[in-house]
Amino acid sequence: MSSYRQPGVVLRDHRFSVPLDHANPSGERIELYGREAVAASKADADLPWLLYLEGGPGFGARRFIGKQAWLGRALEEFRVLHLDQRGTGFSTPLNRQTLPALGGPRQQADHLALFRSDNIVRDCEAIRPQLTGGAPWTVLGQSFGGFCAVRYLSTAPEGLRTVLITGGLPSLDAGPDDIYRAAYPRIERKVAAHYARYPQDVERARRIVDHIAEHRPVLPNGYRLTPEGFQSLGILLGTGDGTHLLHQLLDNAFVRTAAGYELSDAFQEKVAAELSFAGHPLYALVHEAIYAQDDHPTAWSAERVRAEFPRFDAERALAGDTPLLFTGETIHPWHFTSDPSLRPLRETAELLAARTDWPALYDRSRLATNEVPVAAAVYHDDMYVDTGHALETARAVRGLRTWVTDEYEHDGVRVSGPRVLDRLLGLARGEI
């Protein structure tokens, strides 16, 4: 196996073959990619493994350079595997280019139904013996990666030495509608905080969305920008620097031309980059499915529930004098007509939204008797994961210790350097 180096780190690429459907191990197989990282000074040492599960769904594991973020702390004692979960990153990809090879929309939807946390955990258990020799490993789950970690505790705790969760304690039984009814008020609070910090953005946002409503521009990548699409830039507000990034995006959005004011090329390029799902289409395709656990269809839950919160209606905001509300981590049918990377998958998405055979993901009785050390960072008023739901789940997992903080937003483990990971390790080991 080849290895390569970055400052202070030795890296190795791993590729694994696993069943697409673990209930049919002799059937179709897919490939998983994982990047191993170990401190250069310990490259030949016998170290315990830490498995990192990225947030999402639909994102490959973050590629750090050297010992960035939490990785430096982890490499003090672990050999780390950054796993690209099935369908993401360098693992067998799923997108508008590859999905048609599987057949029509029905075949594509059936395939995608196998890309939730239950099968991600089965993948982890399939590859663990190949790396650890059968020893349990520590799992660090960020956001959706934490959802996977709770599933892991529910079904295969024997594979776990310790579990560390950052911004990713899921509700054990809330359905998609419950998730979004809790989400929209949180999003509104984040928008209010943004406007309090940058009051000039109230008028800027109204002016931009008024222009979009009238002209319906097509961005350089083919994205058909609508008021709702513009509002979805509010997803930035869930990270530590997101409010500043959104402000910079809105600043100087227009350029004066011979034909009058138009959205500048620079603005359009930046918006296209923020809104495109080309690099992570699975996020849009299975996002609501990660919350489904019964025979009820998700049925475009975020879109339906949004109607219960009319303050998010852009047309209503423009007709009155209220600030335009941005939205957040929600997926809607219009994503599959606006985004060129999703348009060919619209029928597939509709079939997934209508699906009614979603198995339960979590086992309350097993979690109640948990013996694996677990520690979780819960970010106060996290825009992406409801704090109330997270704390309810924390109480349901025997022995789980929480660190509730408003010092960080959802990306705390990434922006805090070693601090969040170090704190969770201390909690899990009873050192704090």
Q: Active-site positions?
A: 143, 357, 410
Asked whether the CA dihedral 180, 182, 185, 187 is positive or negative, the reply is: negative
In this structure, are residues 300 and 349 in contact, taking their beta carbons and an 8 Å threshold? no
Query: What is 173-238 written as a DSSP string?
Result: S--HHHHHHHHHHHHHHHHHHHHHH-THHHHHHHHHHHHHHHH--B-TTS-B--HHHHHGGGGGGG
Q: Which two tokens stand for residue 252?
A: 């100087």
Query: What size, in residues, is the chain?
Result: 432
Other C-beta atoms lying within 10 Å of the C-beta of residue 103: 11
In this structure, are residues 226 and 216 in contact, taking their beta carbons and an 8 Å threshold? yes
Give the H or E element holding residue 34. Answer: strand 29-39
CA angle 378, 35, 54 (to 5 degrees): 25
Q: How far apart are CA 412 and CA 388, in angstroms?
A: 18
Q: How far apart are CA 81 and CA 38, in angstroms?
A: 9
In this structure, are residues 232 and 326 in contact, taking their beta carbons and an 8 Å threshold? yes
Q: How far apart are CA 34 and CA 56, in angstroms?
A: 17
